Amino acid sequence: MHSTYKNHVVTVGEGFPLICLPGFGSANWVFAKMAEGLADTFTVVMPDNRGMGRSPPSTAPYSINDLALDALQVMDERGFERFGVIGLSMGGFIAQILTLTAPKRVAGLALLCTTSSGPEFEGHFPLMPEDQLRAIYTLDPLARARLALDASLVPFLQTRYQTIYDYLIQMRTTLPENPAEVFLQYSAVASFMKQPLPLERIRCPVLVLSGDKDILVPPENAHLLVKKIPGARLHFIPETDHLFFLEKAPDVADLLKAFFREAHAAT
């Protein structure tokens, strides 16, 4: 199983490799703050998903499975046979498929502010209606960015982490999403959500992280992931929301360091 797509990739640091998979409508810059705390110990590989950031446009509709094959291709191209995986929000979907597709290659899996598929998870994570998404993408990039960072979605961002808010506005307006690419990604997510994954087959060490006040992907999803994945650990980041990995990046990096050091040592 191979992908022919060529993702744009940023790599920092030296050491055991970690691939970081970004979420819906975003690019690898979402990992930049966290990567600062990981690069002294790991090689942090940060691809842009298809059609996002600086990656080439998509040439046809695709699935989350295709994005997982893209991620494997990224690691193949760099000669990384075994590695850790960090999946953030929608990137967690890709990470789950990648781990199930190539279980012998994944030393450890970290799932951040994410959920999974099938009726049981859908009850805790209602997908935004497509017409609502299309209405959002009629707005200019700055208005879209402000809407995505509204206090009703990420309540702590502007009140406690103003510099992070400013950074996100800058990145979302400097590298605005192509609406056509966003709708392709939405279709991939909608298809993914319909069929449950055999999460019980995941055997590598798994760490589930969530902001304890996440509104977009409520903490119930984290509890359900830990229930479904054998041996998975759960850690909540206090007084944070869906963007906890930016709001408390050093703390999250320390948790991930400890987890992947242990996972790598066990292989």
CATH code for position 161: 3.40.50.1820
- Please write the tens of the pLDDT for every residue from 208-218: 999 999 999 99
Tokens 């940060």 locate to 46
pTM, full prediction: 0.97
| Domain contains 41 | yes
What's the rounded Cα separation, in Å, for the pair 180 and 169?
A: 21
Coil vs helix vs strand at 4:
coil
What's the rounded Cα separation, in Å, for the pair 164 and 149?
A: 11
| Domain contains 52 | yes
Pairing of strands 106-112, 83-88: parallel
Q: Is the pLDDT assigned to residue 267 strictly greater than 90?
A: no
Number of domains in the chain: 1
Which H or E run includes 9? strand 9-12
CB-based burial, 83-109: b 16+ in 10 Å, e otherwise: bbbbbbbbbbbbbbbbbbebeebbbbb
Domain that holds residue 23: 9-265
* pLDDT at residue 123, rounded to an integer: 83
| Domain contains 194 | yes
* pLDDT at residue 199, rounded to an integer: 98
| Domain contains 4 | no
Q: How far, in Å, are 63, 88, 142, 192 from residue 109 at the CA level?
A: 21, 11, 34, 19
Q: Is the pLDDT assigned to residue 127 strictly greater than 90?
A: no
- Please write the tens of the pLDDT for every residue from 101-119: 999 999 999 999 999 999 9
| Domain contains 175 | yes
* pLDDT at residue 2, rounded to an integer: 80
